[in-house]
């Protein structure tokens, strides 16, 4: 069934449903997404709008994620399900052939047309600033994702997208927007047709059909996360939004994690998960005297991150880890062909992960 989203206003303990309306035009939705692509995903950098393909068609929006993979975003614009999905697949066939210089050129054209006062900014600069890294990944566009954005979805569109994702492992999804009006104010709601985390698992299983090798992947980085603190006090963490922190729930006590610092830094540690994730407010460590104290009481960078009391959505969540072996960030292990992923934690099933683990075991002597 198509996704349905509702909002109710509470007045004198009575719920009154707020009426929704279709957006006046898909162009307005495009303007909103252009102004803030994080409405779709905070882990995206918009690099193109109305991107001309080599065969005379135009991609509504083109973005790149922290791993250097491209995301094609197409608005439904009152087209039939067959038309819009076929268009997305056609764009995917074109996008997959883009080289690094093509992607940089698309970004340059985008700034020149829409933000001429910033057209001297390079893709490298924008990427590193957006994702708080020192350099871009060595290889861009190793994979891509297709996203249909619409104010309304129908049964036929849902069936087609589910079929492509579940049967053939196509990285395709739909995001559903509704506009609500109340008291002169407008509100925008968003819902994914397939949960992005679940969609990734489905795609990996269908594409590679490999069993999970029992090794967890962890991405550790960000404004308040310092690897030396994590090494010393035995933790990994994620926060700044449920998009980032929720994947920590995939980690099970007793499982083994391999920690990668994103942005082309490399792998820095392997350890055993000791407990399920908890909010930073509840996370404790041992001080120099062996006394158990809240980590928030220590003068650490991680202690500056948000708590549940401050913001439940953006709170930091912590996972206790017993380190098996770690290296300083300056000695991070990095090789061409290593697995990388934008999720804070994952159970990868593709061939690249198997290769990565084989190499890391040798490099870490584990």
Q: Which CATH number does the domain housing residue 313 bear?
A: 3.10.590
Which whole number is the average pLDDT over 130-151? Answer: 86
164 and 29 within one domain: yes
* pLDDT computed for residue 49 by the predictor: 95
Higher pLDDT, 287 or 284: 284
| 220 and 200 in a common domain | no
Strand locations in the chain, DSSP E? 8-11, 14-17, 20-21, 44-52, 58-65, 70-75, 144-150, 172-182, 185-192, 215-219, 235-238, 256-261, 266-273, 278-279, 284-286, 292-294, 317-326, 345-346
Residue keyed to tokens 């340059």: 108
Residues 218 and 293 in one domain: yes
Does the structure show a pLDDT above 70 at 198? no
Q: What is the mean pLDDT of the chain?
A: 87
pTM: 0.66
Q: What is the pLDDT of residues 288-308, one digit of tens each?
A: 788 999 999 999 999 999 999
20 found inside a domain: yes
pLDDT higher than 90, residue 18:
no
- pLDDT value for 11: 75
**How confident is the model at residue 96, as a pLDDT?**
92
Residue 228 covered by a domain: yes
Q: Looking at the structure, tell me whether residues 239 and 170 fall in a common domain.
A: no
Per the structure, the count of domains in the chain is 2
Q: Tokens 């390079």 belong to which residue? A: 122
pLDDT of residue 195: 76
pLDDT exceeds 80 at position 200: no
Same domain, 219 and 287: yes
Residue predicted with more confidence, 360 or 262:
360
Are residues 180 and 57 located together in one domain of the fold? Answer: yes
Residue 90 token pair: 């056609």
Query: Could you list the residue range(s) of the whole structural domain that residue 115 is in?
Result: 8-207
Structure tokens at 318: 């912590």
- Tell whether the model's pLDDT for residue 318 goes beyond 60: yes
Check which CATH number belongs to the domain holding 186 and give it.
3.40.1350.10
Domain closes at, from 180, 207, 234: 207
Q: Are residues 308 and 287 in the same domain?
A: yes
pLDDT band at 281; cut points 50, 70, 90 = very high
Domain identity same for 161 and 239: no
Domain boundary among 207, 236, 264: 207
Helix axes 100-114, 123-131, angle to 10 degrees: 90
Shared domain check, 89 and 182: yes
The whole-number pLDDT of residue 312 equals 86
Average pLDDT over residues 161-187: 82
pLDDT at res. 208: 56
Q: Is the pLDDT of residue 323 over 60?
A: yes
> Are the CB atoms for 160 and 170 separated by under 8 Å?
no
Instruction: Clarify whether residues 269 and 162 are in a common domain.
Output: no
Structural domain contains residue 3: no
When pLDDT is cut at 50, 70 and 90, the band that residue 106 belongs to is: very high
**What is the predicted pLDDT for the residue at 138?**
76
User: What is the spatial distance between Cα 72 and Cα 53, in angstroms, rounded to a whole number?
Assistant: 12
Q: Mark which of 207, 237, 265 sits at the end of a domain.
A: 207
Domain-located, residue 2: no
């Amino acid at each position: 069934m198509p996704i349905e989203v509702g909002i109710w206003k509470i007045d004198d303990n009575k719920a009154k449903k707020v009426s929704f309306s279709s957006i006046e035009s898909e162009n307005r939705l495009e303007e909103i997404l252009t102004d803030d692509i994080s409405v779709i995903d905070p882990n995206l950098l918009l690099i193109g709008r109305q991107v001309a393909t080599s065969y005379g068609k135009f991609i509504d929006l083109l973005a790149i994620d922290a791993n250097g993979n491209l995301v094609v975003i197409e608005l439904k614009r009152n087209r039939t399900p067959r038309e819009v999905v076929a268009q997305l697949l056609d764009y995917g066939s074109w996008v997959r052939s883009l080289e690094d210089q093509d992607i940089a050129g698309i970004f340059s054209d985008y700034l020149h047309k829409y933000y001429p006062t910033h057209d001297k900014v390079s893709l490298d600069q924008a990427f590193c600033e957006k994702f708080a890294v020192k350099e871009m990944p060595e290889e861009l566009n190793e994979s891509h994702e297709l996203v249909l954005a619409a104010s309304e979805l129908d049964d036929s569109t849902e069936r087609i997208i589910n079929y492509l994702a579940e049967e053939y492992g196509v990285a395709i999804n739909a995001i559903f927007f509704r506009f609500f009006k109340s008291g002169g104010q407008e509100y925008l709601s968003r819902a994914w047709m397939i949960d992005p985390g679940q969609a990734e698992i489905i795609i990996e299983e269908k594409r590679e059909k490999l069993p999970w090798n029992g090794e967890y992947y962890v991405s550790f980085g960000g404004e308040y996360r310092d690897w030396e603190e994590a090494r010393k006090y035995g933790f990994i963490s994620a926060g700044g939004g449920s998009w980032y922190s929720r994947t920590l729930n995939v980690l099970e006590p007793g499982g083994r994690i391999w920690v990668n610092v994103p942005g082309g830094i490399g792998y820095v540690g392997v350890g055993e998960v000791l407990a399920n994730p908890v909010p930073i407010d509840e996370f404790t460590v041992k001080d120099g005297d062996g006394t158990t104290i809240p980590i928030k009481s220590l003068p650490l960078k991680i202690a500056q991150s948000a708590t549940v009391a401050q913001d439940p959505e953006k709170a930091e969540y912590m996972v206790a880890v017993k380190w098996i072996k770690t290296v300083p960030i300056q000695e991070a292990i990095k090789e061409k062909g290593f697995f990388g992923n934008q999720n804070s934690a994952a159970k990868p099933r593709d061939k690249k992960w198997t290769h990565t683990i084989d190499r890391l075991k040798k490099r870490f002597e584990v």
